[in-house]
Structure 1
Amino acid sequence: MYYVYVLQSLKRNYIYVGLTNHVDRRFAEHQRGKQRVTAPYRPFLLIHVEQYQTRPAARTREKYLKSGCGKEWIKKNILCAGGEMVYLPAGR
């Protein structure tokens, strides 16, 4: 299984979208500052996770969520919905 996840910085106005095969491990890496790109924005809240059967499907969704339209989708469907972590089945 592969997962597309969305992190929200608790320190700054910053949203990060990523892809992994192990959400808990990857989230811990972000929290510890192991990722150079996200380290300055720690700590994070894991606000959204989607599950996919294949890496290409997850990568397609990740690329969309990183686009302008995808960021608007995040604002409308996650941030405005209360920012609670939601697991969506593949294909959504």
Structure 2
Amino acid sequence: MLEAGEDSTEALTWLQANWGTLRPLRHVSVRALPDRRARRHVKVMYEFWSADWSPWQAFVRLQSEWRELVFDIRPHYDFVNKPGGQ
């Protein structure tokens, strides 16, 4: 659904209902990496730009359904491209 793009009405409706964000995610990318710590595990990384904060509602829902999932949220702020940023 995230790969549908920021102009997709269906994606925006889904984001609001499932993630609690009112603005589209931008620059979405997905990477799957094998997790060598255990067999049959994979590490999936989603990277995106969000005008809202993190999609915490999605994490709460996923964690309640799949307790073994681990979430690691690392916000990055691009201050370099803003006036007065360093």
Q: TM-score, normalised by structure 1?
A: 0.30
Where is the strand percentage greater, Structure 1 or Structure 2? 1
Where is the helix percentage greater, Structure 1 or Structure 2? 1
Q: TM-score, normalised by structure 2?
A: 0.31
